[in-house]
Amino acid sequence: MSGIVGIVHWDEEPINSNELEQMADTLHHRGPHGRGIWREEYCGLGHRLLWNSPESLREKQPSISADGNCVITADVRLDNREELIQALSLTHRPFADITDSELVLHAYQKWGQACPQKLLGDFAFAIWDSKQKQLFCARDHMGCKPLIYYHSNRIFAFASEVKALFCLERIPKRINEARIADFLVDTLERIDKTSTFYEDIFKLPPAHSLTVNQEKFN
C-alpha cells in the first residue's frame, strides 16, 4: 500500500508545490518510507512509498521515462514481472533492479492505453504523457488499489484517498446525500462502483482506465 496524488490544471495555471506536498503528506500513513514530488508547468504528481517487496526498495517515484516524455506515480505490486521483462526486452538488466513502476511505464510506452490488460497484480497508477498533453489513469482488475478523482473544465485531481483531494481549494466539499442514503439502505451499495460520499468526487471502478486531456474525458 503506497499513496499517489496528482493535479492537472487545464487552464494552465502553474502547479502550487505546497498544495501538492500537502496532498502527499496527508497520505503519509500509506507510505512512510519516502515521499516524491514532480511538477512541470501545469501538471504535478506525488508519491508516498511503502516498502512491500524487494523491488520496492529501489522505487523512486514519480519516475520519468528514459526519453523524458512520460512520468508515472503508481501504487503497484506486479505478479507477472518475469513475463513483462521478457516482453519489454529488458532482459539485459538484473531483474531485481527493475521496479514495478518502471515496468508499468515501459508497458505504457509499448502498448499505450491497452497496457493494463498486460498487467497482473494490484495497481492504481497515473501517467502524464507530455507529448500527448494527457493523463492516463488505470486500476487493477479486482480493485485492490484505490483511485479517487475530481474533474472540472479547470482541473483534474486524483489521489488514493478523498482527504488528499481536500487539500485543494478548487475542490468543493459537498456531501452526497443520495450516496449516503444508498449506503444506509444497502440497495445500491454493491452496485455503485463510482460515486463517493462527496458530490463530484468519484472512484475509478476496478478494471477501468481513464484518459483526460483538454478535449476529452473518457
Per-residue pLDDT at 188 exceeds 70: no
> Which runs of consecutive H residues, i.e. helices, occur in 3-161?
17-26, 81-87, 100-111
State the Cα–Cα distance between residues 151 and 168, nearest whole angstrom: 12
Nearest to 73 by CA among 112, 42, 110, 99: 99
Q: How large is the average pLDDT for residues 176-200? A: 79
- Considering only CA atoms, which of 72, 162, 146 is closest in space to residue 109? 72
What the chain holds in terms of domains, given with CATH numbers, is 3-171+199-212 (3.60.20.10)
- What would the pLDDT profile of 22-65 be if each residue is shown by its tens digit? 999 999 999 999 999 999 989 999 999 999 899 999 999 999 99
